[in-house]
């Protein structure tokens, strides 16, 4: 009887051990959600973050060493009692005892721009699912092939299989790949009654120019390009306000944002300083600039107001 009880006890321990080994380990949060924070801004604008996004200093994001990408945190500055909510999309910081790096916009929200660094309290709002996390390295072990060499007598010639295989035919050279044709502009003529109109159409179908034809003279390419020029940079006077929607190290990214603003009825211009800054304005009062920023936020765009 005692031996049966002992046997059942051993089996129960083995079953429990096998079941427990299949339970996923709990997510361990970093120790101490209080420490030193810093911020980074325009000097990194347009670069790629650790999760593959393009860094924009005007978005509310942060860099952390270990938290999964997509994690949402509330960062509080005890000196100003102001809080900002950020999303982790980058890795760092790797300097000193700092535990988190905030974007320019996030640091501005809690009053951390002037001091540069400061102690903050960090509260976890939602743990991210680690989208775009780098996969763990895969280890592959290849067994070494056995070194077996059959001994051949010096007087015995090697065996040759007959008939000998025919030599393989040379593979034909690949056909040359034609170079792609890039269409910059398309000219389309429309006739309505006695009036002939010549249009310039972009490859995506947008009409770039619409010019009536007089006689046989066709508008030159310079005429079309002049109509495609972006809005000139606005003259900003001292005491006025502008709404800055983005800052990029690459001019093409700034132009993409300018085109997006045009589709929602905002006339933006690009100011080239150390970066390509996309701006709207100027406005005589801060209230007018605030109204424009509210309209941008309604369309899912963040912006800051800059006093000149």
- Torsion angle, alpha carbons of 70, 71, 72, 75, to 10: -130
Q: Which sequence spans correspond to the domains of the chain?
A: 34-126, 185-213, 241-307
Can you name the CATH fold of 241-307? Answer: Alpha-Beta Plaits (3.30.70)
Residue pLDDT tens, the chain, 308 long: 445 544 454 444 444 444 444 433 444 455 458 999 999 988 899 999 999 999 999 999 999 999 999 999 999 999 999 999 999 999 999 888 899 999 999 999 999 999 999 999 999 999 998 877 665 555 667 777 766 655 555 566 667 666 666 666 666 777 666 555 444 455 556 666 565 566 655 555 565 555 555 444 444 444 444 444 444 556 666 768 989 888 888 889 989 989 989 988 888 889 888 889 899 988 989 899 899 898 888 888 888 888 87
Domain 34-126: which topology? Answer: Barwin-like endoglucanases (2.40.40)
Nearest to 94 by CA among 115, 124, 63: 63
Whether a cis peptide bond, with omega within 30° of 0, leads into 282 is: yes
Q: Is 289 left (phi over 0), alpha (psi -120 to 50) or beta?
A: alpha
8 A C-beta contact, residue 130 and residue 70 = yes
Counted residue by residue, the chain has a size of: 308
């Amino acid at each position: 009887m005692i031996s049966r009880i002992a046997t059942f006890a051993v089996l129960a321990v083995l079953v429990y051990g096998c079941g427990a080994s299949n339970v996923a380990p709990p997510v361990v949060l970093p120790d101490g959600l209080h420490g030193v924070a810093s911020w980074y801004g325009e000097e990194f604008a347009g670069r790629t973050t650790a999760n593959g996004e393009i860094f924009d200093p005007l978005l509310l994001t942060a860099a952390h060493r270990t938290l999964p990408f997509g994690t949402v945190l509330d960062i509080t500055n005890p000196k100003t009692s102001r809080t900002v909510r950020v999303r982790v999309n980058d890795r760092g910081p790797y300097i000193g005892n700092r535990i988190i790096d905030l974007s320019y916009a996030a640091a501005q929200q809690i009053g951390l721009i002037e001091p540069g660094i400061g102690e903050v309290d960090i509260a976890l709002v939602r743990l991210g699912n680690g989208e775009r996390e780098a996969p763990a390295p895969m280890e592959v072990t290849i067994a070494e092939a056995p070194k077996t060499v059959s001994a051949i007598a010096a007087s015995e010639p090697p065996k040759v299989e007959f008939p000998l295989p025919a030599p393989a035919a040379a593979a034909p050279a690949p056909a040359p790949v034609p170079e792609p044709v890039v269409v910059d502009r398309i000219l389309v003529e429309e006739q309505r009654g006695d009036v002939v109109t010549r249009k310039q159409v972009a490859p995506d179908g947008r009409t770039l120019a619409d010019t009536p034809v007089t006689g046989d003279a066709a508008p030159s390419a310079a005429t079309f390009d002049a109509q495609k020029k972006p809005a000139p940079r606005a003259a900003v006077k001292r005491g006025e306000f502008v709404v800055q929607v983005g800052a990029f190290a690459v001019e093409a990214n700034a132009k993409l944002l300018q085109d997006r603003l045009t589709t929602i009825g905002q006339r933006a211009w690009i100011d080239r300083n150390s970066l390509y800054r996309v701006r709207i304005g100027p406005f005589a009062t801060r209230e007018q600039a605030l109204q424009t920023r509210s309209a941008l936020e309604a369309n899912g765009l963040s912006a800051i107001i800059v006093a000149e």
